[in-house]
């Protein structure tokens, strides 16, 4: 069995790339967190509530446990998020027909409409961000971001939900 040993030059390059990626992602995430908050909050939901609604629209129906796992939140926090969405008429909770302890969650028509409105606003914002980039750079960026999301999720024992297009693996 052979082991690969990195050269000092390769180690230095990897350290530099690691630092540069960290700084770039930190900057990007910070911008997106503020952007999302500003785009979403004017629609009567928090960013977390919007993420929950997005997960439900994508999945169709979820249990509280699967939603909590998807959002990477504990069940009590997820329950409070769902309670607020339910009170606002965006989510419906239904007891499982075979197990009364299990609650199935689904977005209502009102919730799906809100989700689509927010999604269209965010897509317009994304278009404004990437429209000046060459097409090959846009496609490569999407591929890199998807791959980073998959690798990062795998390292913490999570999966990334499918994006819904034909190039995405199930």
- pLDDT of 93-144, one tens digit each? 998 888 888 889 999 999 999 999 999 998 998 999 899 999 999 999 999 9
Find the helix or strand (DSSP H, E) in which 125 lies.
Answer: helix 109-130
Residue among 6, 4, 2 nearest 18 (CA): 6
Portions of the chain given CATH number 1.10.10.10: 22-132
14 neighbors 6 (Cβ within 8 angstroms): yes
In which order are the strands placed within the sheet that holds 103-107? Answer: 62-63, 103-107, 91-95
Q: Give me the CATH code for the 22-132 domain, please.
A: 1.10.10.10
45-62: average pLDDT: 94
17-26: average pLDDT: 92
């Amino acid at each position: 069995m052979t082991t690969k040993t990195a050269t000092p030059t390769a180690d230095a390059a990897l350290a530099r790339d690691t630092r540069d990626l960290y700084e770039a992602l930190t900057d990007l995430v910070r911008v997106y967190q503020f952007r999302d908050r500003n785009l979403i909050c004017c629609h009567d939901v928090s960013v977390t509530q919007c993420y929950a609604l997005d997960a439900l629209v994508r999945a169709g129906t979820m249990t509280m446990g699967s939603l909590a796992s998807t959002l990477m939140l504990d069940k009590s926090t997820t329950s409070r998020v769902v309670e607020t969405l339910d009170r606002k008429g965006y989510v419906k909770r239904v007891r499982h027909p075979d197990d009364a302890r299990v609650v199935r969650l689904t977005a209502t028509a009102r919730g799906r409409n809100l989700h689509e409105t927010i999604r269209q606003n965010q897509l317009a914002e994304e278009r404004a961000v990437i429209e000046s980039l060459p097409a090959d750079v846009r496609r490569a960026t999407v591929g890199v971001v998807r791959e980073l999301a998959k690798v990062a999720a795998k390292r913490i024992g999570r999966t990334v939900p499918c994006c819904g297009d034909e190039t995405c693996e199930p």
